[in-house]
Structure 1
Amino acid sequence: MIAYLEHFVHGTDKESRPDDDFVDFSEALDLQGTIDCAPNAMASKDFGGLQSVKPLALIRPATADDIARVLKAAARSSNLTLAARGNGHSINGQALADQGIVLDMRSMEENFHVVWIDGSAYVDVPAGALWEDVLKRCVGERGLAPRSWTDYLGLTVGGTLSNAGVSGQTFRYGPQTSNVTELEVVTGKGDTLVCSETENSELFFAALGGLGQFGIITRARVVLQQAPDMDVDRLLRRLRFLRAFKFQVDVGYTQFLLRVKRVEEDAKANGIWDAPHPWLNLFVSSHNIIDFDHVVFKGILSEGVGGPILVYPLLRSKWDPRTSVALPESDIFYIVALLRFNPPPPRGPAPELLVAQNQEIIQFCSSRGFDFKPYLPHYKCQEDWKRHFGNQWTRFVSRKTSFDPLFILAPGQKIFSRNLQP
């Protein structure tokens, strides 16, 4: 394995001891970070626990320049691929690289900077930082907060921006991809570019929701606002709802946003956190949600999913169509998240049965012609990806050709295959 890495960097076939190869590889790249050519199981699996593949190496970059050097070295090989791993919360192996290189983005979690531009506040955040760290730094130290979150904050900034990033705030403020004004991205060609709506805009919108296909996000500038106050009655007066159904629990803003952290702690205490998690996330049009409820919630899932089910509405107008995210056509659609926390067999059901149940739900939506899209999508062949992106597919391919022409990035998504060089 290590000899292969030495060979693709130097282009030689010389015999050498493994230790010599490791030194050669490290010195050839001249990284500030570290290289592990015998990575532990962390780099071979993800939170879903449904797949396990072995990478050639795990690299912990210290800077964007480290990432650029690795990508340029990979381009000199015939078939090496590279996957960025945040906190490992992909479900279907999207952050894995079979016989490729995994970048541990958590090694780039420091260097937060709050900046003020024309009277508005932003925070420059490294892509490997967790959103819960952003919360603690911004709210605890400045009384400021990003407008849009995810329901679970143990995710990296780069990871959620590569998908969309949704939560209960999305209905009002849009997804996280609509609340970032600037990115630093290392493209598949090894170019490090700062991009925004006005600078390198095609890369900016490609990377947002781009599933890691066009570049690796290394820094993001996130919009901030004053952290909200706790005058619940004043906030509720703005809503139209049946007063008899009001249920109120007073907690602090930070405690509320970290509410899923308690689920994580309980799952770890009960030995469930490391069990397989065949989760399913869908965007379902408001036109189809009643039929979905009747057949899926009251039928297929009548016995529950062994964990939380999240359902809330989203407005299409809050999403920027220039990003790479594929959405339903409806003006209003719902996020449906089936967050399974089943114990491993024999205490719990076999993961294969739950995966089959997920496929049954997707097949039902497809057969009924629902206006829906999987969120955090996963397919096994390019034809399914073409159907997923629909009329956006041509743009997606064009962006791939522009920013990752050798198809090095994000092999675990199974959208493109690495070009074989002569």
Structure 2
Amino acid sequence: MAREGVVVDMATLRKQRNGVAINVSKDPLIGHYADVGGEQLWIDVLHSTLEHGLAPVSWTDYLYLTVGGTLSNAGISGQSFRYGPQISNVHEMDVITGKGEFVTCSWQKNLELFHAVLGGLGQFGVIARARIALEPAPKRVKWVRLLYSDFSAFTKDQERLISINGRKQKTALDFLEGILLMNQGPINNWRSSFFPISDHPRIASLITQHSIIYCLEVAKYYDDQTEKNVDKEIKVLLQGLVYIPGFYYEKNVSYVEFLNRVRSGELKLQSQGLWDVPHPWLNFFIPKSQILDFDSGVFRDIVLKRNISSGPVLVYPMNRNKWDDRMSASIPEEDVFYTVGFLHSSGFDNWKEYDAQNREILEFCSDAGIEVKQYLPNHTTQEDWSNHFGAKWVTFLERKRQFDPRMILSPGQKIFDKQLQQAF
């Protein structure tokens, strides 16, 4: 099950929590929280916390992922610009280190391990429990999409909107992402069916005219008390945006329907036998100062020339100050950086085409001096891993010596080559 690695029976660890997988509590200092087993899925965390009128504030687009898994990477989505990644919303963890020790770590104790594990790619310990911050849950979501033909205008509007990002700021958006619409991909995709069928010809005509259309996707949460103001707040936030006139779309959906929007697409693809196929994805972060170069060199050159994109392509900005640089996750140095995700699905006979495109994109970034940081990184050499972590590499090595000196947790990621293992 884990070649040259270890398997942990997470269910047996619930004895530490009185046999409860997800437990909601309140602390006078930190407020409401949920103690959650690392093996639990985020969709189950959502349903369990909603029973108390509460929910986490930071999510991934797909909820059928484990808590320990996303916290070992970062856990990002359209909420990250305001609430930070999921690793920024954890109070405490129980961790099984590479030494086989069961350690509780938090902001108050064993801080080095706490920072190491969050975004640490599973290299320092297995997350057995996480204490997740909760806030009152909204009931519904005003969900809006706007279309752009100009990438510079699209990014300027995105950056303006994420600059309004106070956690308690009532006028701020709760979610912001961007999607590319291209001829080789469907107007509605498996992430969500949004645009009305009657408007598909108009949108298709736009795509034919411009080759790529950029879709800004935003959401504002509300409940019974705030419902009367949500339309006014959306109008104020979107005032002055330079999207294409007449291409404004909105929905009102439940909070659960919005957060779990990818699931319906997944089930549809499963019924067609199109879900359990290769997914040669590529995800990375790009500094704000280089995103226009990326658009011209990748979106409008490599991607259009190859003409194989068969899944959503995401592009949206985040604020660096919502991340804790002491954690292991590696991000660009600039105050604003973009997430780009090529979420392709291929057949079993043509996945190599997508791998080749991914390599070409990374080679272009390297040649152009675009300082990308892979998210869900897949590097093959020690030098690449060192470059990935940058100034954090020395700290990463020191933490490895401290928490997993025998490199029991190393297989899989291939971060440490044989020469470095011998040095340990």
Q: TM-score range by the shorter chain?
A: 0.7 to 0.9
Equivalent positions of 1:359-398 (< 5 A) are: 359-398=359-398
Alignment partner of 2:36 out of 98, 117, 125: 125
Deviation of residue 304 (structure 1)?
5.3
Give the structure 1 partner of residue 353 of structure 2.
Answer: 353
Tell me the SS of whatever aligns to 2:253.
coil
Deviation of residue 238 (structure 1)?
5.1
Q: Deviations over 1:49-106 (max 9, x none)?
A: xxxxx67986644334999xxxxxxxxxxxxxxxxxxxxxxxxxxxxxxxxxxxxxxx
Equivalent pair of 2:4/2:411 in contact (CA under 8 Å): no
Cα separation, partners in 2 of 1:371 and 1:56, compared to 1, 3 Å = closer
Q: Deviations over 1:329-374 (max 9, x none)?
A: 11111111111123433xxxx1112111101111111111113201
2:259 is the counterpart of 1:257: yes
Q: Distance in 2 between matches of 1:325 and 1:56?
A: 22
AA of the residue aligned to 2:412 = G
Give the structure 2 partner of residue 111 of structure 1.
Answer: 21
Identity of aligned residues (%): 48
Equivalent pair of 1:271/1:343 in contact (CA under 8 Å): no
Equivalent pair of 2:81/2:318 in contact (CA under 8 Å): yes
Equivalent pair of 1:330/1:371 in contact (CA under 8 Å): no
Cα separation, partners in 2 of 1:373 and 1:130, compared to 1, 3 Å = same
2:335 is the counterpart of 1:331: yes
Q: Distance in 1 between matches of 2:289 and 2:82?
A: 20
Cα separation, partners in 2 of 1:56 and 1:309, compared to 1, 3 Å = closer
Q: Distance in 2 between matches of 1:301 and 1:197?
A: 44
Cα separation, partners in 2 of 1:263 and 1:344, compared to 1, 3 Å = farther
AA of the residue aligned to 1:286 = K
Cα separation, partners in 2 of 1:365 and 1:273, compared to 1, 3 Å = same
Give the structure 2 partner of residue 316 of structure 1.
Answer: 320
Give the structure 1 partner of residue 311 of structure 2.
Answer: 307
Q: Distance in 1 between matches of 2:68 and 2:55?
A: 18
Alignment partner of 1:233 out of 222, 228, 231: 231
Q: Distance in 2 between matches of 1:134 and 1:369?
A: 41
Q: Compute the RMSD of aligned alpha carbons.
A: 2.5
Q: Distance in 2 between matches of 1:144 and 1:59?
A: 30
The TM-score, its normalising length taken from structure 1, stands at: 0.72
User: Which has the larger displacement, 116-125 or 210-219?
Assistant: 116-125
2:2 is the counterpart of 1:63: no
Cα separation, partners in 2 of 1:226 and 1:66, compared to 1, 3 Å = closer
Tell me the SS of whatever aligns to 1:251.
strand
Tell me the SS of whatever aligns to 1:352.
helix
Equivalent pair of 1:267/1:341 in contact (CA under 8 Å): no
Deviation of residue 239 (structure 1)?
1.7
AA of the residue aligned to 2:41 = L
Equivalent pair of 1:122/1:221 in contact (CA under 8 Å): yes
Deviation of residue 318 (structure 1)?
0.4
The TM-score, its normalising length taken from structure 2, stands at: 0.72
Cα separation, partners in 2 of 1:317 and 1:61, compared to 1, 3 Å = closer
Q: Distance in 1 between matches of 2:236 and 2:123?
A: 41
Equivalent pair of 1:64/1:186 in contact (CA under 8 Å): no
Tell me the SS of whatever aligns to 2:126.
strand
Q: Distance in 2 between matches of 1:327 and 1:316?
A: 8
Q: Distance in 2 between matches of 1:191 and 1:285?
A: 38
Give the structure 2 partner of residue 138 of structure 1.
Answer: 49
Deviation of residue 272 (structure 1)?
2.0
Cα separation, partners in 2 of 1:179 and 1:304, compared to 1, 3 Å = farther
Give the structure 2 partner of residue 100 of structure 1.
Answer: none
Q: Distance in 2 between matches of 1:272 and 1:354?
A: 17
Consecutive unaligned residues in structure 1, runs of 5 or more? 1-42, 45-53, 68-107
Equivalent pair of 2:346/2:354 in contact (CA under 8 Å): no
Equivalent positions of 1:21-420 (< 5 A) are: 43=1, 60-64=9-13, 111-118=21-28, 120-139=31-50, 141-228=51-138, 229-230=222-223, 231=227, 232-237=230-235, 239-241=237-239, 242=241, 244=245, 245-302=247-304, 303=307, 305-345=309-349, 350-416=350-416
Tell me the SS of whatever aligns to 2:412.
helix
User: Which has the larger displacement, 194-203 or 109-118?
Assistant: 109-118
Q: Distance in 2 between matches of 1:413 and 1:155?
A: 18
Consecutive unaligned residues in structure 2, runs of 5 or more? 139-221
Cα separation, partners in 2 of 1:57 and 1:287, compared to 1, 3 Å = closer
Cα separation, partners in 2 of 1:235 and 1:138, compared to 1, 3 Å = farther
Q: Distance in 2 between matches of 1:331 and 1:304?
A: 33
Cα separation, partners in 2 of 1:56 and 1:127, compared to 1, 3 Å = closer
Q: Deviations over 1:384-420 (max 9, x none)?
A: 1011111110000000000000001041000125857
Equivalent pair of 1:65/1:192 in contact (CA under 8 Å): no
Equivalent pair of 1:182/1:221 in contact (CA under 8 Å): yes
Q: Distance in 1 between matches of 2:129 and 2:7?
A: 20
